Amino acid sequence: MADYYEILGVSRDASPEEIKKAYRKLARKLHPDVAGPEGAEKFKEVTEAYDVLGNEEKRRTYDMGGADALHGGSFGGGAGFGFEDIFNSFFGGGMGGGRGPASRARKGGDTLVDLEISLEDVVFGGDHQFTYDAMIECNTCHGQMSEPGYSAETCTQCGGSGSIQKVTQSFLGQMVTQAACPTCRGYGTVITHPCHECAGEGRVRASRTTTVKIPAGVDNGMQIRVGGMGDAGLAGGPAGDLFAQVHVASHPLFERRGDDLLTTVEVPMTTAALGTDVTIETFDGDKSITIDPGTQSGKIISLAELGVGRLRRRGRGRLLVNVQVATPTKLTDEERSLIEKLAALRGEERTKVQGRTENSSVFSRLKDKFGGNA
């Protein structure tokens, strides 16, 4: 397969504007209504090249792995903007045949975009505005494909019917068949002056902004459909759909576990031994939790209805608070002396033993868990 950059006649580091300019120049020259059937194959190649290089994500994929990495260069089973749609709109089957001229209008392809959202969006849901690239209706010709001041002209060969009759002789006698008109390709009209802005396609690639509704509980990889916000159709045809594929950004405090959220709170070993109330941050504001006396490291405190909103049913999951007891790594002489006195008062040995007795103290259990000296 020929290199897309060579087809458009641009360098591999060409800017989007240079690629766009090169495409317009070639497309106007090779447009089937201008160049005729002999330019059809070249027009097909140029359009395919621009479909890839004119899209930032497709171009990046192509640069990394070539045409094979594009898996056909369209999304949704070939529904995306691609050269086949355009080529078939000029040479597609079923044109003419006694059914009247074919319409140039074609439905636009679906557009797939990556959408990064926050964990808070997942918890509560809500509206999310973002910008993406898609084919939009040409502002110069408004989808009509012709240069302003001109319009498609009735084909002189078929008289606007889109088809012609052919008389052939066979062993059964004279036969009359109908075929698509070779001059207008079955459309009944010919675009003699293609629009300079869109090269006679009726649409151009541009950035557009939309708002998508994020449902609470959405997860990584899920796709949200927005009808009619994909690529604009050819010749004023209906637009395709937009599919936003969700990626949830990581959060510094919370980790998702299904419908639950997990967070960690660290307390000093003295606090764990004596107990206290601790204020923690949640997506619903600050909340107070109780650290019971003798709390061990790894204890989970469950707070109902403070987790992720459920995707297909009412309510929310839990907020799970993982309590971690912090054992000091450096002690002053006075702190060491006080702890040694406490250990002596409790009859606790400083040597490490395997296992534990029913009467082991909180400091012994901390020593067993962390492998340090009490």
**Known binding positions for Zn(2+):** 138, 141, 155, 158, 181, 184, 195, 198
Q: DSSP assignment of 188-242, as one string?
A: SEE-SSB-TTTTTSSEEEEEEEEEEEEPTT--TT-EEEETT-SPPPBTTPPP--E
Token pair 């297909």 is found at 312
Asked if residues 202 and 214 have their Cβ atoms less than 8 Å apart, the reply is no
Pairing assessment for the beta strands 242-248 and 111-117 based on DSSP bridges: parallel
Asked if residues 153 and 284 have their Cβ atoms less than 8 Å apart, the reply is no
Both tokens of residue 180? 């698509």
Both tokens of residue 15? 């800017």
Both tokens of residue 8? 């458009």
Residues 6+ apart with CB under 8 A from 274: 293
Range 163-169 contact pairs with CB under 8 angstroms and sequence separation of 24 or more: 163/95, 163/96, 163/97, 163/98, 163/101, 164/96
Q: Is 255 left (phi over 0), alpha (psi -120 to 50) or beta?
A: beta
Q: How many Å separate Cα 109 from the centre of its chain? A: 15
> What separation in angstroms does the CA of 245 have from each of 45, 60, 88, 231, 364?
30, 18, 29, 16, 51
**Distance between CA atoms of residues 303 and 286, nearest Å:** 13
Asked if residues 167 and 176 have their Cβ atoms less than 8 Å apart, the reply is yes
Binding positions are 138, 141, 155, 158, 181, 184, 195, 198
> What separation in angstroms does the CA of 58 have from each of 18, 106, 112, 284?
17, 22, 11, 40
Both tokens of residue 100? 């009247």
Token pair 């009359």 is found at 176
